């Protein structure tokens, strides 16, 4: 898949195909359904399948106080969309000029002139143009007037409710990363930089990587089974999100114990897939009691993550 951040650099082979425009935050199963239809439309018109998204989210400029916490960063989103088999992804820089375009101007300048689209694929709740004045009916009229095929993909449902980024965001906020993973195309992933902590974990035999500068939504307080990734290496990890009440700390932190890893990670970027919630965070009466619980956390983590990844105790 080719990633394009500047439409002036759009190669000719990415013009004249099928296009889907949206934020694609999280890249969930509903997005996968849209991309499946997108690929079919691209094959019909004999052109590429293109996903067109924005960075930053338009709401960040329009209503910065209302911007939802993102589920994915741009490069991760591109990885996930590439896995769905599209030919190209355009990450368009959101600015005041873009937000000022009427639906008609946006369609003409972006869809027709820049992308040369022959087909479009969207959901029924698609909005575009200044003040979100363009809806799916407006899009249908514009596509019809420009001899562009439009396919409207109905929302996917699971468990009696729509699959959406906002639903997944709520699940993650409550710590239900396991259910969120069923709605996503991949387990929920966070990233950050490893910084120095108090070093208490190492002193009791469970060294942890303290992860700071996380730029996506943070799951609810608790202990999680995860898979840590750095330098193309993957390690099962028991992850604590929250305070450390046993030692009288109430500051929220993200600490990952990479099981079996002895590398120094300070100053390195670290990504972690969160597979399942292990338990709530709580104080323990003694360090020995905490150590016993940490052993149980590690065992649970290896059970949930290890078998699929080929790890063992």
Segment 61-71 mean pLDDT: 79
- This prediction has a pTM of 0.92
Segment 216-223 mean pLDDT: 96
Residue 200 has pLDDT above 80, yes or no: no
Segment 196-200 mean pLDDT: 73
Residue 69 has pLDDT above 90, yes or no: no
Confidence of residue 111 (pLDDT cuts 50, 70, 90): very high
Residue 311 has pLDDT above 60, yes or no: no
Residue 2 has pLDDT above 90, yes or no: yes
pLDDT in tens, 281-292: 988 989 999 999
Task: Kindly report the backbone phi and psi dihedral angles of residue 149, in degrees, each rounded to the nearest multiple of 5, phi listed first.
Answer: -70, 140
Segment 216-221 mean pLDDT: 95
pLDDT of residue 199: 66
Residue 120 has pLDDT above 80, yes or no: yes
* Greatest mean pLDDT among 56-65, 163-172, 204-213: 163-172
pLDDT of residue 243: 84
pLDDT of residue 248: 65
Segment 23-50 mean pLDDT: 97
Residue 253 has pLDDT above 80, yes or no: yes
Residue 152 tokens read as 């409207």
pLDDT of residue 307: 58
Confidence of residue 197 (pLDDT cuts 50, 70, 90): confident
Instruction: Evaluate the omega torsion of the peptide bond into residue 56 and state whether it is cis, within 30 degrees of 0.
Output: yes
CATH topology of domain 187-309: Elongation Factor Tu (Ef-tu); domain 3 (2.40.30)
Residue 301 has pLDDT above 80, yes or no: yes
pLDDT in tens, 128-158: 999 999 999 999 999 999 999 999 999 999 9
Residue 309 has pLDDT above 70, yes or no: no
CATH 2.40.30.30-classified regions of the chain: 187-309
CATH topology of domain 2-158: Rossmann fold (3.40.50)
CATH 3.40.50.620-classified regions of the chain: 2-158
Task: Kindly report the backbone phi and psi dihedral angles of residue 249, in degrees, each rounded to the nearest multiple of 5, phi listed first.
Answer: -100, 135
Confidence of residue 63 (pLDDT cuts 50, 70, 90): confident
Residue 34 has pLDDT above 60, yes or no: yes
């Amino acid at each position: 898949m080719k990633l394009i951040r500047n439409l002036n650099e759009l190669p000719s082979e990415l013009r004249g195909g099928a296009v889907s425009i949206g934020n694609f935050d999280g890249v969930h199963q509903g997005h996968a359904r849209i991309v499946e239809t997108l690929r079919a439309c691209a094959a019909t018109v004999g052109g590429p399948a293109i996903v067109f998204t924005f960075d930053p989210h338009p709401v960040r400029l329009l209503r910065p106080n209302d911007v939802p916490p993102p589920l994915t960063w741009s490069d991760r989103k591109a990885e996930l969309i590439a896995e769905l088999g599209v030919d190209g992804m355009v990450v368009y820089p959101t600015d005041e000029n873009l937000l000022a375009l009427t639906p008609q101007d946006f369609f003409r300048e972006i869809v027709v002139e820049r992308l040369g689209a022959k087909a479009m694929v969207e959901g029924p709740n698609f909005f575009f143009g200044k003040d979100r004045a363009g809806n799916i009916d407006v899009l249908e009229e514009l596509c019809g007037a420009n001899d562009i095929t439009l396919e409207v993909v109905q929302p996917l449902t699971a468990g009696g409710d729509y699959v959406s980024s906002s639903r997944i965001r709520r699940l993650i906020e409550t710590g239900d990363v396991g259910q969120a993973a069923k709605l996503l195309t991949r387990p929920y992933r966070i990233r950050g930089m490893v910084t120095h902590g108090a070093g208490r974990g190492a002193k009791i035999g469970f060294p942890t990587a303290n992860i700071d500068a996380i730029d996506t939504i943070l799951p609810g307080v608790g202990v999680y089974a995860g898979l840590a990734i750095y330098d193309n290496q993957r390690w099962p990890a028991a992850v604590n999100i929250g305070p450390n009440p046993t030692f009288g700390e109430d500051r929220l932190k993200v600490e990952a114990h990479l099981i079996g890893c002895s590398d120094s990670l300070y100053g390195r970027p670290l990504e972690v897939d969160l597979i399942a919630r292990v338990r709530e965070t709580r104080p323990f009466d003694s360090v020995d009691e905490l150590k016993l619980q940490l052993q149980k956390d590690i065992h649970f983590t290896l059970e949930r993550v290890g078998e699929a990844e080929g790890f063992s105790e």
